[in-house]
Amino acid sequence: MKTGEDDLQFLSSSLQGTSRTFALAIPLLGPELQYQVGIAYLLFRVADSIEDAACVDAARRHLLLQRLRDCLAPDCQQSSTLQAAMAEGFGGLWPAGSATEQLMVAASRLLRLFHQLPSAASACIRSSLDRTIVGMLDFLGSGAARGAEIRVETVAELKLYCYFVAGIVGEMLTELFCHHCPQLQPERARLLRLGVSFGQGLQMTNILRDVGDDARRGRIYLPVDELQRFDVKAAEILQRSAPWGYSDRFTALMQFQADRAHRLYDEALDLLP
């Protein structure tokens, strides 16, 4: 189906409003791949914005993530129940007028564009986003999520979280790239590993960059067992006013976490030709 200029502008403005880095990289792709990756990124962004809505309790986020998952089903447009779910939308989670809230309100339009994609592309995006949503639902149902607060208990839990919110994205992009560039197929297995490591490294970078803002919203993604190892109390990170909790112990903890992100990037770079 031919894509209208209004739809292209909608995707472009949504990317510019909600992305720090993808909005710079996606336009470098060819037109067809650019369009598919843009839709994929924004759908993942919708899921992430539900999971990350600070003022919404876990039960509400669970409901909305399941609604999004249902709206990805191949028969969604033929199902009156799912049409109703699409119509109800995902708004009201973020400040009115913000780019994120505008995207959430327009999610039904984004889903319509998704369902018009070629079957191979929509199947790849659907499978990947479904696995991410399942991971988010498991996370919200675990001890890590207490109401609107989040505490990651162990390194294993952190690695799993980074995989289902970012590593899966790397796998999806690899699959889309291999589909559009068949000569990459012989390198597919290696590229999938690269995509996972790179995605997890980016997510760790996000966690470290936002550690203060996240903590002040009641969310600590640094593992509790490593906080204990470095003798850093959650209260130090949750400090909402000066003096901030940037002690020598906290600095050592953050260096340790940064080294983890560097190792993930090194793994990805080692897989490059």
Reference 256, options 204, 190, 197; nearest CA is 204
Entry pTM: 0.89
Q: What is the mean pLDDT of residues 153-161?
A: 93
d(CA 194, CA 64): 31
pLDDT tens digits along 224-234: 999 999 999 88
pLDDT tens digits along 190-226: 999 999 999 999 999 999 999 888 888 888 899 999 9
Question: Dihedral of CA 254/257/263/265: which sign?
Answer: negative
Q: Which two tokens stand for residue 142?
A: 């675990």
3-state class (DSSP) for residue 252: helix
Q: What is the pLDDT confidence band of residue 22, given thresholds at 50, 70 and 90?
A: confident
